[in-house]
A and B are shown apart, each in its own frame.
Chain A
Amino acid sequence: MGVALLLFLLSQVSPTFNLRAVDTPNDAGGSITLTWQIPGGLEHIDRLEIYRSESPEGPFEKIRTYLSPVTRFQDMGLENGKNYYYKVVITSGGETVESEIAGPVIARPQWFHKGRVTILFGVLIYTLILLYFIFSAKKGKELYLRPIAGLKALDEAIGRATEMGKPILYVPGLSTISDVATIASINILSHVTRKIAEYETKIIVPNRNPVVYTVTREVVKEAFTSAGRPDLFDPDSVFYVTDSQFGYAAAVSGIMIREKTATNLFLGMFWAESLILAETGASTGAIQIAGTDAVTQLPFFITACDYTLIGEELYAASAYLSKEPVLRATLKGQDAMKLLLGLILILGSIFGLFGITWFQKLF
């Protein structure tokens, strides 16, 4: 009877750690992740220690001590392809409870990040949609594009500067070349420069980033050449100013006031300096067209500029300005993908309202 009771009691306090050791998923190897439960009955924990060994018999080496009831640990800096064994030891009120030994487990590097399957699918679907529209454009299918006021006004803005005999200021944003907004801006710069070559107007391109400077300079030079007017390229028109955000804002404000630019184009990535630039331009009476994907700066540009390209319109601009059907076709692809995403969002919301979760779990 006594023995049975003791066994019963032991089974009640018998620690079930459920210690699991697995190769950390989606990593470059060298890491094993441990998870366990704090056994029932252990209310207060003085110390929790994690041990590791290369053999189930030991010797076990203490690798980490915690003073709180932790249930997860990631062991790093391990050798790939080697067997490892783990155990967890908890000290609670003078009593020591040891977990079962977990292992053998091997750390391995992975060739595919499983957490990124959804992204991969999204990218593939989007790429296919874009390619479909590109190929159908190559077959000569006509596509209708909604006119964008800011881009329609571009010709007029360049023309006005020409009439007034004043230069055009082109600010390619304040970000680096890794920013897609900067690249989109550089694409527009190429169109603008070719237009300017027709009108023989002066362009000023001040740069904040050294790499962007080298690119804009080449683009302006090449665009003049491809428009058949290499003689119009003035090496002094594209220059580097400073890396300092507000130093740049000060310099460009100075250029607007001293050179009395008739048209200011702010296209690319902007931060807090956006309003300083746009307000100075507004005070000199220049026509201003801005475009950025920096959502927080959009309100400033909208209030102080004549036209503003909002978010994706900046990316669409190059395709709009070029008459190439293949480039314009990608815009249709974007719309199709947006429609698809919109449907997914609506479906997700409806399912969510009815408490159905499998759909959300797909993503």
Chain B
Amino acid sequence: MLQRKIPLFIVFVMGFLMTVQFYIPHPVSQTLYKYVLDWMNGVASMAIVLAVGSLIMHHWRRLKKPEFAPYSAVALVSLFFMAILGFFFGIGEGSLFQKMFENVQIPLQATMFSLLAFYMASAAYRAFRARNLEATLLLLSAFILMIGIIPLGYYIHPKISDFALWILNVPNLAAKRGIMIGVGLGMMATSLKIILGIERNWLGG
């Protein structure tokens, strides 16, 4: 029981303090805020240790399963290789660590990012069907936007790109703001429920 009550108490006190802190510019409140931020950094640093431990253990266990072993071996070797490079040979400009980062990590990330273009094409092909009125409207506005955003649209008719911008700035923005208002209220309600201890699912139920 105490195991439940202590976290709920801490959450209530901290939630209340940080809410009040927002309205107080006085140095006392600023110091409290900085102190809390320091604590957050401390907690996050400890969590990194746990997280990397979990990563190593997860892949270590998988080495014993033949269907996963090759992938886990790559993950473990890369992890230790980069760690050793960084610890023993430095991470400054011109170091091997830096070169690995620039020539392996960055291109790999860019490749994953560029997959988006391909996935967008296949998702659009599969999903954009004029099934009903709403879907047809969506399809039409997507059409106008896509044509309007490329130079070709302008040459078909100069008004197309203006219209595309209008779609972005008026109906799209209105819907976006509507969603954002709902999101804001949802965030506040969730926070309040947690601070008051009504919502306890984050403790595992």
Contacts and interface: CB of A to CB of B under 8 A. Distances in A.
Q: Do chains A and B touch in the complex (CB under 8 A)?
A: yes
A27 B25 contact: yes
B47 A276 contact: no
What secondary structure prevails in chain B residues at the interface with A?
A: helix
A246 B185 contact: no
B13 interface: no
A261 interface: no
Contact of A213 (B47, B112, B180): B47
A33 interface: no
Contact of B205 (A126, A222, A298): A222
Given A223-B204, A240-B54, A303 B127 contact: yes
Contact of A334 (B109, B126, B186): B186
Interface residues of A, number: 89
Interface in A284-313: 293, 295, 298, 300, 303-304, 310-312
Given A186-B201, A213-B47, A327 B193 contact: yes
A258 B27 contact: no
B202 A239 contact: no
Counting chain A CB atoms within 10 Å of each CB, which of B57, B71, B119, B127 scores highest? B119
Give 6 nearest A-B pairs by CB, closest first.
A222-B204, A315-B186, A210-B51, A246-B112, A312-B186, A240-B51
28 contacts: A26-B25, A28-B30, A29-B26, A111-B26, A112-B24, A113-B22, A130-B189, A180-B190, A187-B199, A190-B202, A190-B204, A190-B205, A210-B44, A213-B51, A219-B202, A239-B58, A245-B109, A258-B71, A273-B112, A275-B116, A276-B112, A282-B126, A295-B179, A311-B180, A311-B182, A312-B183, A315-B183, A319-B193
Interface of B: 19, 22-27, 30, 40, 43-44, 47-48, 50-52, 54-55, 57-58, 61, 67-68, 71, 105, 108-109, 112-113, 115-116, 119-120, 122-124, 126-128, 176, 179-183, 185-194, 198-199, 201-205
